[in-house]
Amino acid sequence: MKAKELSSFCMQVAFLLGAGISIDAGLAVLSEDAENQEDRDMFMQMSEDVEFGGSLAGAMKKTEKFPPYLMQMTQVGQETGNLEVVMKSLSQYYEKESILAQTIKNAVTYPLIMVLMLMVVLFVLLTKVMPIFEEVYKQLGAQLSPITKSAVQVGTILSGAAIGAIVLLVLVTIGMVVSSRRGYKQLWTERLLQNLKEKSSIAITLAKRRIAAVLAISIKSGLEIDTGMEMAVKLISQHKIQDKLQKCKEQMELGNSLYDSLKETGIFTGMDMQMIKVGVRSGKSDAVFDELSKKYEEEVDAAIDNMITRFEPTMVVILAGIVGLILLSVMMPLVGIMASIG
């Protein structure tokens, strides 16, 4: 299930629990309101499993539709009696995951479309417009300079190659998405994405947001903080951050405080650590991690917005410069013709 669907499911379960409806009856209600037959069957089967004594987490596991983290936190919520609180927190968590995923998708798609439009404009100018001017100059007894002709040929080849590369990239991306949904894995793409995640500042900030959100939910649900740390390890894809989290967990198992363990690993720094310190001492760690999660989310949004903001005028300047050079190369012979006529 997608993050948006998971968020909706968690919120619906929280509403039903808040209304005093039992889990099995609530799942039956969800089955009636499901948009497609597959979801109806899934929720009805879950309702029957819970009705016959199974746990909600166990029923979710049988469907093979829910992520391990959601099932683990659901089990924790049931065991501690905080399932409604946990479900509300999980709904917010997956909603933010969905929003960030869409933001990143838009951030990648927009520059790609801009570059494609730039290449198409250049290709049309070089292959359709320039030959017309060249033919006109031939009839007037003038011609484009050898440098201009060479530049037109090189530009045509490069712009055509760029268009082909972008189209190929789109087709490869579509193929990867389709194959991944069918269960096939591409090891080279996974390695490439892993390298990008390890080095990208945006990806690292996203990992910090996820850590803070998971720790906040863990504390709210009454879960031991080292167990919450272990869950965070499984949710983070960056190996370096995983190692730091594991080290932090080991330090806490040795008796060190959450603040000291996090400070030693260096995952959070500066004012963030000061906030964590205050939160630990005041017993408001969950609120502090919630604020840190929001802060990192805002940082990711700002970073993506800045990237797009810088990219758009850059593309406009490049396009204006290239078009200006083309026009200049076209107008120079015309100036010579007008001077000879005068």
Same domain, 203 and 114: yes
Same domain, 114 and 43: no
- What per-residue confidence (pLDDT) applies to 28? 86
Give the residue from 58, 70, 9, 77 showing the smallest Cα distance to 234.
Answer: 70
Same domain, 74 and 213: no
Q: What range defines the domain where residue 21 resides?
A: 3-95
Same domain, 80 and 136: no
Q: What span, in angstroms and rounded, lies between the C-alpha atoms of 217 and 26?
A: 23
- What per-residue confidence (pLDDT) applies to 188? 47
Q: What span, in angstroms and rounded, lies between the C-alpha atoms of 194 and 46?
A: 35
AA identity, residue 186: Q
Same domain, 167 and 110: yes
**Residues 63-81 pLDDT 10s:** 888 888 888 888 878 877 7
The Cβ of residue 253 has, within 10 Å, a number of other Cβ atoms equal to 11
Same domain, 63 and 172: no
Residue 35 φ then ψ, to 5°: -80, -30
Where among 64, 95, 126 does a domain terminate?
95
Same domain, 71 and 100: no
182 Cβ partners below 8 Å, 6+ apart? none
Residue whose entry in the numeric block shows the structure tokens 């760029």: 162
Give the residue from 64, 51, 28, 36 showing the smallest Cα distance to 183.
Answer: 64
Residue whose entry in the numeric block shows the structure tokens 């409806």: 21
What residues in the chain have per-residue pLDDT under 70?
137, 140-145, 147-149, 151-152, 155, 158-159, 176-199, 330, 332-342
Same domain, 148 and 136: yes
Same domain, 129 and 266: yes
- What per-residue confidence (pLDDT) applies to 83? 81
Where among 95, 121, 139 does a domain terminate?
95
37, with CB counted inside 10 A (0-12, 13-18, 19+), is exposed
The Cβ of residue 207 has, within 10 Å, a number of other Cβ atoms equal to 23
Same domain, 51 and 100: no
The domain tally of the chain equals 2
Between the CA of residue 29 and those of 91, 142, 157, 231, what are the distances in Å? 18, 80, 61, 31
Between the CA of residue 54 and those of 41, 47, 78, what are the distances in Å? 17, 9, 12
Query: Quick one: tokens of 203?
Result: 């990806």
- pTM for the predicted model, two decimal places: 0.67
Where among 51, 74, 95 does a domain terminate?
95
Same domain, 48 and 170: no
Same domain, 10 and 159: no
- What per-residue confidence (pLDDT) applies to 181? 60
CATH number (domain holding residue 8)? 1.20.81.30
- What per-residue confidence (pLDDT) applies to 194? 47
Q: What span, in angstroms and rounded, lies between the C-alpha atoms of 260 and 251?
A: 9
Would you state the torsion angle of the CA atoms of residues 299, 8, 241, 77, taken in this order, to the nearest 10 degrees?
A: 130
| 211-220 as b/e: b if 16+ CB within 10 A | bbbbbbbbbb
